Chain A
Amino acid sequence: MDFSLNDVQSMLADSIEKFIANDYDFKARQKYSESKTGYSQDVWQTFSELGWTAVPFREEDGGFDGGPVEMTVVMERFGRGLIVEPYLANIVLAGGVLRRAANETQKSEWLSPIIAGELQATLAFVEPQARYDISNIATTAAQDGDRWSINGRKGYVLNGGNADLLIVPARTAGGQSDYEGITLFGIGSELAGVSFRDYQTIDGQRAAEIDFSDVTLSSDKVIGEVNKGYQSLQAAISDATLAVSAEAIGIMSVLTEKTIEYSKSRVQFGVPISSFQALQHRMVEMYTACEQSRSLMMWAAMAIADGNDESESALHALKYQIGTAGTRVGEEAVQIHGGMGVTWELDVAHYFKRLTAINLMFGNADWHLDRLAATTAS
C-alpha cells in the first residue's frame, strides 16, 4: 500500500507547479480568459513542449502513456492554477475518443497535431434536450453511398469556437436514447452547413452552440465502427469526470488555504477573524471536505487504473462528493471572505465559479448519487 507519487509522477507535478508559480498568475489567467479565444496559444504551445498534452496517450501514438493517476496529477494542479487553456476539450475529451476509436490515418491526421498543439479539437457531447444522458442524441447522420449527411444541434461545445475538429456523436440507428446506433464523426469546423454561436461561460471559459445543417462528409470521417460509438464516447466522458473532479480538488484546496490565510489577516473588533470559533469550525469543515474528497479521488483513480469492478461506482461516488463538498467549500470561501468574496477583482470568486461549473457538468451530485443508489440496490 502506497499513496505517494512515483518519480515520474512527481516530476510531472513539479513541472506544472513551477510553471504556474512562475508564469501563470491570476492576472495572466484573466487576460487569457478575456482574450478573443479565451486562452493563450503561447501557453498552449508551452503545454505541448513540456509534454503535458501527451499525458494520456500511448507511446506509439506519441504519448506519455499516463493513466488515471497521472491525469489526476495534472488536473489537480491545473485546478490550483485555474488554468483556462482547453486541455479538457482537446486532450481529455477529443483525445479520449480518438485514442480509443480512431484508425491510424485519423490518428496521424488529428491526434498527432492535437498533441503538438497545432490543431484545436473538441467533443460535442451535449444536446439541448439531453441533460446528462449522453446517449440521448437527436442529431442524425444519414448515409448515402459513401457520403454522410449530418443534421442537428449540439450545445455547450467546449472550445467549440476555436476548434478545427469537432468530434460529433450522431444517431445512425435506434431510438433517441439507445446506446446502440450512435456513430462518431470527425467534422472539420470549416465545412459548409456548420454554424456557431460562440460564447463565454460563467467560469471564464469558451463554449459554443453548434448547428449542423446538411453537413456532408465522406466515410473516412467515421471514427470507429458505425452504430458502435457509445462505448468510446462513454469512456471519454468517464475520463473527463475524473479529470474535472481532480481539478475541483485543486480548487477546493486553494480556496481553503486562501480562506485560512485571509482570516488571519482580516481584523475586525480589534482581532483577526480567525480567532472566532464560529469561523474556525467552518474552516475545519472545509479542510475535512478537501481531504475526504482527495481520498475518494485516490480510490477512483486506482480503481480505474486497475480496471476493477469498483471503478464505475468509485467515479459516481467521487463526482457526487465533488458536487456536494465542492459547492460547500466554494460557498464557504466566499462567505468567510465577506465583501471581498463577492468581487470580480478577487480570484476567490473565480475559483468558486469554476467549482460551480464543474458540479453542473458530466452529471451533478444528485445525478451521480441516484446512479450509485441504483447500483447499491441491485
Chain B
Amino acid sequence: MNATFTADELAFRTEVRHFFENEFPGDILEKQTNAVPLTRDDVVRWHKKMFEKGWAAPNWPQELGGTGWSPVQKYLFADEQARVSAPPFLSFGVSMVGPIIYTFGSEEQKQRFLPDILQFNTWWCQGYSEPGAGSDLASLKTRADRNGDHYVVNGTKSWTTLGQYADWIFCLVRTSSDVARRQEGISFLLIDMNQPGVSVKPIVLLDGEHEVNEVHFDNVKVPLENLVGEEGKGWTYGKVLLQHERTGIAGVADSKYRLSRLKARTALSIRGATPLSADRIFMRKIAAAEVELKALEYTELRTLASVASGKAPGPESSILKIAGTELRQAIDSLRLEASAYYALPYVRDQYVADFPEDKRIGEGTETNASLTYFNDRKVSIFGGSNEIQKNIIAKHVLGL
C-alpha cells in the first residue's frame, strides 16, 4: 500500500506546473486570482491555448486528439490547474458531447463535429433539463417529430448553462410516446442554435449573474443526420455520459486550494488586528473541513488507483459527488463567516479588470464570499441532486 507518485508522474507534474506558471495567458490567470468573471473571448482563448499545447482533451482517445494520459496524470493535471486557480475546462463540448459522438456517433458526425470541439471553434451547451423535468429527467416533454428528411423540434429546455454563448446544443428529446418505459423513446439530437425558431432567454440566479437560460424550440428543423446513434436510445447514451466523468466530479483539487487560500487569509492581520486564526472555534471548523477534504482526497485516489490498475472504479466512487459538493458548500460557508461584515456589500462590478483598486471595498476579494456561497447552492442540485445520488447509491451499491 502506498500513495506515492512515480518519477515519471512527478516529472509530468513539473511540466504541467511549468506550463501554468509560464505559458498560460497571464491576464486570464490574474482575473481568476482576483475573482474577475471571464468573458466569452477569455474562455475561447484559454481553450485554444490548451489545444495548441495538445492538452485540450485529457479524456479522449489519443487518435482523436486526446492526451493519452493515465488516470494519475489526469489527477495531477487537475490538481495543478486548481493550484494556480486556472479555470477548469468548459465541460459541455470536450467532456460531454465529444465522448458521446465518438462513442455512439457516425463516422460522418465524428469528422464533422470532433475537430471543432477539440479546437473550441464551436461552443456547446447541454439540453437535458426542462421546466417540468429536473431530477425526474425521463419525464421530459420536448418533442422531435419526423417529417421527411428532418425532425421538427418543439419544447423548452431549462438551466442551460452559458447557452447565451453557445453555437450548438445537444438535447435529449422525445421521439416516441408509444413506449413501455418512459426511458425509451428518447433520442439524442445535435441542434444548431443559429436558426429560426431557437430562442434563448436568460434566467438570473440568486447572485445576480446571468449564468443559465431557457432555450425554446418553436418548429425547429433538425436534419435526420444530426441524430446520434439509434432513435429511441438517447437515454442510454445520456446515462453513459453521466458516468463518464466519475473522478473529477468531486472537485477535490478545487476545494483543496480554496481551503488553503482561506487558511492563508485567516492568518493575515488586517490593519493590525488579531488574525482570525487566533479564534480556536473558527479554526476547529477549518480543521473539520480539512479532515473531510483529506477523506475525499483519499477516496478519490482509491478510485483512481483502481481504474489505473485496469479495474472498474470501486463502489466507493459513488460517494464522490455528494461528499465533494457538501465539502465545497462547507468551505463557502467558512469563507462567508471569515468575511463577516465584508461579505455584505453587493458590488459585483468592482471585480472587473479596469476597476480602480483604490475604489474597491474590502481588503481582498472577501465581498465575493457571499456571491460564491449563493452561487454554489447549485452544486448539490445539478448533475442529479444529492438526494437523487443517494437514491442511486441505495439502489445500485447497497442493493436496497
Which residues does A use to contact B, with CB under 8 Å? 1-6, 9, 69, 260, 263-264, 274-275, 277, 280-281, 283-285, 287-288, 291-296, 298-299, 301-302, 314, 317, 320-321, 369-370, 372-374, 376-377
Contacts and interface: CB of A to CB of B under 8 A. Distances in A.
B291 A320 contact: yes
B286 A373 contact: yes
B398 A4 contact: no
Interface residues on chain B, size class: 35 or more
Given A281-B390, A287-B397, A372-B290, 9 more contacts: A1-B305, A2-B309, A280-B391, A281-B394, A285-B390, A287-B319, A317-B290, A321-B295, A374-B280
B393 interface: yes
B1 A69 contact: yes
Given A263-B400, A295-B302, A280 B394 contact: yes
Nearest to B282: A373
A318 to B, nearest CB: 8
B263 A2 contact: no
Contacts of B284: 369-370, 372-373
Contacts of B316: 291, 294-295
A210 B283 CA distance: 39
Interface of B: 1-5, 72, 263, 266-267, 277-278, 280, 283-284, 286-288, 290-292, 294-299, 301-302, 304-306, 308-309, 316, 319, 322-323, 387, 390-391, 393-394, 397-400
A4 B286 contact: no
Contacts of B288: 320, 369
B323 A377 contact: no
Nearest to B397: A287
Given A3-B1, A298-B302, A299-B294, A274 B280 contact: no
Contacts of A287: 319, 393, 397-398
A2 B2 contact: yes
A283 B286 contact: no
Contacts of A277: 391, 394
A4 B3 CA distance: 11
Contacts of B72: 1
A237 B300 CA distance: 30
Contacts of A321: 291, 295
A1 B301 contact: yes
CB-based closest 9 A-B pairs: A295-B298, A280-B394, A292-B295, A372-B287, A373-B283, A373-B287, A373-B284, A291-B316, A317-B291
A286 B189 CA distance: 40
5 contacts: A4-B309, A264-B399, A284-B390, A291-B299, A320-B288
Contacts of A317: 290-291, 294
Contacts, number: 135
Contacts of A369: 284, 287-288, 291
Contacts of A4: 1, 305, 309
Contacts of A264: 399-400
B392 to A, nearest CB: 9
A100 to B, nearest CB: 23
Contact of B1 (A2, A275, A292): A2
Best-surrounded residue of A9, A287, A294, A373 (most CB of chain B within 10 A): A373
A179 B3 CA distance: 33
Contacts of B286: 373, 376
Contacts of B296: 292, 295
Contact of A284 (B287, B294, B309, B398): B398
Contacts of A284: 319, 390, 393-394, 397-398
Given A280-B390, A284-B394, A295 B287 contact: no
A277 to B, nearest CB: 7
Contacts of B280: 370, 373-374, 377
B136 to A, nearest CB: 14
A306 B37 CA distance: 42
Contact of B319 (A2, A280, A283, A288): A288
A374 B278 CA distance: 9
A6 B399 CA distance: 30
Contacts of B390: 280-281, 284-285
Nearest to A273: B400
Nearest to B9: A1
B325 to A, nearest CB: 13
